[in-house]
C-alpha cells in the first residue's frame, strides 16, 4: 500500500514486480550516468571553451558517440525483453479467474468452480469502517491462495477498462468482445489494492480492485463458504 510522501513504487508482492523494480533501477542508473556525462561535457565546454578543431572534427569522438549509444540500448533492451517474455509466460496455473469490467464495478468468476462468482463494488465513503481506505475498498475482495500461479482472464461488457494492481505488477486492458489473459504469483499474504486504469466514464475512479492473498487452507475455507451461500 502506498503511503504519504512516497516517491518510489509500492513494495513488490510478486516475483514479476520484483523484476520490474530491478529493471527500473537499472534503467534509472543508466539515465543518471548519461545525464551526468552530458552535463559534465556542457560545463567543460562553457568553462574551458573546448571548441577547437580537434574536438569538433575528431574521428575518435564520432566513433565514441556512435558506438556508446548502441551499447547503452543493448544494456536496456536485453533485460527488457527478458521481462516481457516472463510477463507472457503462463505455465500450469493453479487457479483461473475471469474478471469482467462493467460501468462501474468488476465481476469475478472462478472458472475452476461451477458456481463461484460475485460482483465487486466500491464501498461508499459513509459506509467505511475505521482502517478502511477511501475509494479503494470493495464489498467483495478477490481472494487467492498465496504462492500459487494465478491466471486472470480479463474482458469488459460495455467499454474499455483496465485491471491493474501495482504491487503485483499486473496491468491488462479489458476490451469488450475480447479475452485477454495474464498471470502472477502472490509471494506473500496481504491485501493489495488497484483501480481501473482506463478512463471508462464518469465513475471511472470508483471501481477499485482488491486482491486478498491468503494461505491455501484459508482459501479453501472461503471458497466453501461462498459456494454454500450460492
* CATH of segment(s) 95-229: 2.60.40.420
pLDDT in tens, 46-63: 777 655 555 556 677 778
User: 214 forms bridges with which residues in the sheet?
Assistant: 145
Cell numbers for 223: 471458497
pTM summary value: 0.83
176 neighbors 162 (Cβ within 8 angstroms): no
Q: Give the pLDDT of residue 57.
A: 62
Cβ atoms 97, 109 nearer than 8 A: yes
Question: Secondary structure of the chain in the HEC alphabet?
Answer: CCCCCCCCCCCCCCHHHHHHHHHHHHHHHHHHHHHHHHHHHHHHHHHHCCCCHHHHHCHHHHHHHHHHHHHHHHHHHHHHHHHHHHHHCCCCCCEEEEEEEECCEEEEEECCCCCCEEEECECCHHHCCCCCCCCCCECCCEEEECCCEEEEEEEECCCCEEEEEHHHCEEEEECECCCEEEEEECCCCEEEEEECCCCCCCCHHHCEEEEEEECHHHHHHHHHHHHHHC
Strand partners, 172: 163
pLDDT in tens, 187-223: 999 999 999 999 988 988 899 999 999 999 999 999 9
The arithmetic mean of pLDDT across residues 2-21, rounded, is 85
Q: What is the percent of the chain with per-residue pLDDT over 90, rounded to a whole number?
A: 65
**Torsion angles phi and psi, residue 69, rounded to 5:** -60, -35
Q: CB-hemisphere CA count at 13 Å for 31?
A: 6
> What does the pLDDT average to over 76-100?
90
Amino acid at each position: 500500500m502506498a503511503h504519504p510522501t512516497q516517491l518510489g513504487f509500492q513494495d513488490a508482492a510478486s516475483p514479476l514486480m520484483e523484476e520490474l523494480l530491478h529493471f527500473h533501477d537499472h534503467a534509472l542508473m543508466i539515465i543518471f550516468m548519461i545525464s551526468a556525462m552530458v552535463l559534465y561535457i556542457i560545463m567543460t565546454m562553457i568553462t574551458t571553451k573546448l571548441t577547437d578543431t580537434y574536438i569538433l572534427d575528431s574521428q575518435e569522438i564520432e566513433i565514441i558517440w556512435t558506438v556508446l549509444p548502441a551499447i547503452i540500448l543493448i544494456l536496456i533492451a536485453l533485460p527488457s525483453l527478458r521481462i516481457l517474455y516472463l510477463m507472457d509466460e503462463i505455465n500450469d496455473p493453479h487457479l483461473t479467474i475471469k474478471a469482467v469490467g462493467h460501468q462501474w464495478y468488476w465481476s469475478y468468476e472462478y472458472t475452476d468452480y461451477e458456481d463461484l462468482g460475485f460482483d465487486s463494488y466500491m464501498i461508499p465513503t459513509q459506509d467505511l469502517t475505521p482502517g478502511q481506505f477511501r475509494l479503494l475498498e470493495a464489498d467483495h475482495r478477490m481472494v487467492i491462495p498465496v504462492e500459487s500461479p494465478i491466471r486472470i482472464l480479463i474482458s469488459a461488457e460495455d467499454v474499455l477498462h483496465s485491471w491493474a494492481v501495482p504491487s503485483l505488477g499486473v496491468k491488462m486492458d479489458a476490451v469488450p468482445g475480447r479475452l485477454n489473459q495474464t498471470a502472477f504469483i502472490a509471494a506473500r499474504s496481504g491485501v493489495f489494492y488497484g483501480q481501473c486504469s482506463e478512463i471508462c466514464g464518469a465513475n471511472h475512479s470508483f471501481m477499485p480492485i482488491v486482491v486478498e492473498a491468503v494461505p491455501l487452507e484459508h482459501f479453501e475455507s472461503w471458497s466453501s463458504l461462498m459456494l454454500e451461500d450460492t
